[in-house]
Amino acid sequence: MPNPFKPTAGKMPPILIGRQSIIDDFKEGLENGAGAPGRLMLITGQRGYGKTVMLTELGRVAKDAGWEVISETASEGMCDRLASALVRPGMKLRGVNVQPSIGVSGILNASLGGASFSVDQVALTLREVVNQRLAKMPRGKGIVFTIDEAQAASMADMVALATTIQHVIRDEDMRDVSDSDKHGVAFVFAALPSLMDELLHERVLTFLRRSVQHDLGLVAYPDVRSAYIEVVREGGLAIDSEVAELAAEASDGYPYMIQLVGYYMWRAAEVRGSKEIEEADVIQGKKDALVLFDDAVCAPLFDGLTAAQKLFVKAVAKEAPQPAKVSEIANRAHRSASWVSKYRASLIKERVVESAGYGLVRLSASHLAEYVQSLR
Ligand SMILES: Nc1ncnc2c1ncn2[C@@H]1O[C@H](COP(=O)(O)OP(=O)(O)O)[C@@H](O)[C@H]1O
Ligand SMILES: [Mg+2]
């Protein structure tokens, strides 16, 4: 029987659990005409919380509603690729006829004499392309841009995009038609929590601070349990409700773990030649799941920290799951109290550490403590 679970980055799960309110928010934004809040959205969350699949789902919603969808992952040349994705043969940019084979950079190169492009030029080009595409769209419809890994965007790209968004919205606003007939643009950004904080501090990006922000959280156990029951039974195996409950607990409600535990408990049952997933399969499933979780989530999270943050995290992990006294961390790390408060704050922002009562902290990132302890 094919395993119905999808423990792979960016892969749509069999059931997208616990995210309906975000989808509704976004739908409302599209339906409510120009200026609706859901048209500028920022989705944050650590690795494996389901940012990429949310973007996919919102893209699908937008397509169903008759909008065009352009999806990009932020990296060098993002704005250029966004513009290229919108260019159509026959479009004229700065009076130059577009040939798709040349692409947008080619046109810029030709018309600007090959100079490297300033942020303003890129923004101007993107604005021109977007406006030309919008002009061809049915009334009230528009373009949705989804930008994944926005924390990795270069400042130049983000500034160009911000400028474009503001201009396109204004251009459309000036058209003499009713708000519901105006063409729209919507932007959904997905990013890691901490790095986004840095971007948001840039003055030019204040518009992003006004976006509707959804910080993806863990999924509630009852929702996970019923999804397990539905997916397993639909897939052709049996599971009773207590076992599904155990599996939900084993996953912590962490979206990536939900798929991992599901996948490996299914496999454990099949290896036994059983038609039913039982408690032992959940236990085995969780064990197998954690190996992959360490590699895919804990390792990149820990490796991405600065040396000082790592030292702090190790000190907190020493007696986990017991929380650590803030005063004790200074001792363990051989650092001053002000050092501790600095890195405590930075790691709280990064959702790696959380307060565990007065003067106490613990690691909040799932399974990070076990991972860090295993490093020694
Ligand atoms: N709401 C959800 N319910 C169940 N599984 C989910 C959910 N969101 C994501 N997943 C699963 O979690 C894993 C990670 O999703 P992904 O979108 O790649 O996360 P991120 O982009 O935040 O790192 C995938 O296997 C995906 O199928
Ligand atoms: Mg992703």
Give the C-alpha separation, 372 to 288, whole Å: 18
* Count of beta carbons in the 10 Å neighbourhood of residue 167: 17
Give the C-alpha separation, 66 to 46, whole Å: 31
The model's confidence at residue 75, banded by pLDDT at 50, 70 and 90, is confident
Contact criterion met (CB below 8 Å) for 231 and 15? yes
**Residue 71 C-beta-side C-alpha neighbours within 13 Å:** 14
Residue 115 has pLDDT above 60, yes or no: no
Q: What is the structure's pLDDT at 203?
A: 66
> 362 forms bridges with which residues in the sheet?
354
| Measured CA distances, 241 to 94, 171, 262 (Å) | 64, 55, 14
Q: Is the CB of 4 under 6 A from ligand 1?
A: no
Give the C-alpha separation, 240 to 229, whole Å: 7
Give the pLDDT confidence of 155-196 residue by residue, as tens digits: 888 888 888 888 888 888 888 888 888 898 999 999 988 766
Q: Is the CB of 17 under 6 A from ligand 1?
A: yes
Q: What are phi and psi of 110, to 5 degrees?
A: -65, -45
Q: Is the CB of 44 under 6 A from ligand 1?
A: no
Find all residues with CB under 8 Å of 203, minimum gap 6, and list them.
none
The model's confidence at residue 37, banded by pLDDT at 50, 70 and 90, is confident
Mean pLDDT (whole number) for 223-228: 98
Which residue, judged by its Cα, is nearest atom 14 of ligand 1?
A: 48
The model's confidence at residue 109, banded by pLDDT at 50, 70 and 90, is low
- Helix, strand or coil for residue 171? helix
Q: Is the CB of 48 under 6 A from ligand 1?
A: yes
Mean pLDDT (whole number) for 259-282: 98
Ligand that comes closest to the CA of residue 253:
1
Paired tokens of 19: 């995210």
Q: Tell me what the pLDDT averaged over the chain comes to.
A: 89
DSSP string of 318-359, one letter each residue: TTTTS-EEHHHHHHHHT--HHHHHHHHHHHHHTTSEEE-STT
Residue 108 has pLDDT above 60, yes or no: no
Find all residues with CB under 8 Å of 243, minimum gap 6, and list them.
277, 278, 279, 281, 282
Paired tokens of 49: 């919380």
Q: Which of 53, 214, 351 to mutate to test the pocket of ligand 1 (most atoms within 8 A of CB)?
A: 53
* Count of beta carbons in the 10 Å neighbourhood of residue 18: 20
Q: Is the CB of 49 under 6 A from ligand 1?
A: yes
| Measured CA distances, 264 to 11, 186, 261, 299 (Å) | 17, 38, 5, 20
Which residue, judged by its Cα, is nearest atom 13 of ligand 1?
A: 256
